[in-house]
A = this chain, B = another copy of it.
């Protein structure tokens, strides 16, 4: 069957350990044997059995990501493809493979993680979003298993994580709308158990408070990261007796839902409602009107997360636990002054 290290050793007239040493670039080994062995390996088409190596070295050269629950819902939004792109770019540069696991229910998700961790299937794990009191986080901490959180942990400051300053980002977005002359500003949020939802809501509130503007509970709506949610939020807002003149939307995709709804109902953007979203999706530029958005550097988030994780795996200690990726306001037509 497949060529093993023993086959190579025999053909080369050396011991398996010598071959092993050649493979791992052991320093003290004669150039002559190195050459001979390498030649024979190439000649025989030898490739080390990854599992055997892992078993003894207790290391896999693989990092895992656990896809947030309904994989169905996941890729609608460009966020995940884009983080994954960042992750895979970095991890492949450092010769790590990427394993994707998924659990549909919360329980399955935890079980998948346990299997990966206890089964020693991966060297580290990337958590793609942060929830309040996340059981995964607790488990991984207890196990002292290397992991990096995309987002921010509320309860543990020492966790490795990469995030935006979402409070500030949302603050900036809201300030922008205020500077355009808006006084009644709404907010379309994401699932309330996600830290990102909280942070962006906080930034929004902070900006309003600072400007001495009122916020009505009616102007804050929660939903999913889906177009549908935007559509619903829009219906709700536009039927209000005193409706907002502009809104901050937690995600471009949700913003597109708003846009579509407004168009259907014959409203004009930004005249009837100013909009600014998050993520600066490629689509944002193409929408009608082009959608203003906060670019949060998703690719870079993924890249950095992989970087931190692999450093952690390799045992680097001198690391600040929290990386903050800068954001950037991209103003387009959808948030120009209403006049």
Contacts of A120 in B (CB 8 A): 2, 49-51
Contacts of A286 in B (CB 8 A): 256, 259-260, 283, 286-288
B118 touching A47 by the CB < 8 A rule? yes
Q: Mark A1-14, 1 if CB is under 8 A from B, else 0.
A: 01000000000000
Q: Which of A74, A76, A92, A114 has the most CB of B within 10 A?
A: A92
A75 interface residue (CB < 8 Å to B): yes
A99 interface residue (CB < 8 Å to B): yes
A219 interface residue (CB < 8 Å to B): no
A72 interface residue (CB < 8 Å to B): yes
A81 interface residue (CB < 8 Å to B): yes
CA gap between A60 and B104 in the complex, in Å: 22
CA gap between A120 and B53 in the complex, in Å: 11
Q: Mark A115-133, 1 if CB is under 8 A from B, else 0.
A: 1001111000000000000
CA gap between A48 and B283 in the complex, in Å: 45
CB distance from A279 to the nearest CB of B (A): 13
A326 interface residue (CB < 8 Å to B): no
| Pairs across A and B, CB under 8 Å, 20 listed | A45-B118, A47-B114, A47-B118, A48-B119, A51-B55, A51-B120, A62-B99, A67-B88, A71-B85, A71-B92, A72-B89, A88-B100, A88-B102, A92-B101, A92-B104, A97-B100, A98-B101, A227-B282, A283-B286, A286-B287
- In the complex, the 4 A-B pairs of residues with the closest C-beta atoms, listed nearest first: A47-B118, A288-B288, A81-B81, A50-B119
* Interface set of A (CB-CB < 8 Å, partner B): 2, 45, 47-52, 54-55, 60, 62, 67, 71-72, 74-76, 78, 80-82, 84-85, 88-89, 92, 97-104, 114-115, 118-121, 227, 256, 259-260, 282-283, 285-288
Extra inter-chain contacts (10) besides given A51-B120, A286-B286, CB under 8 Å = A45-B118, A55-B55, A75-B81, A75-B84, A92-B103, A92-B104, A97-B101, A98-B101, A99-B100, A227-B282
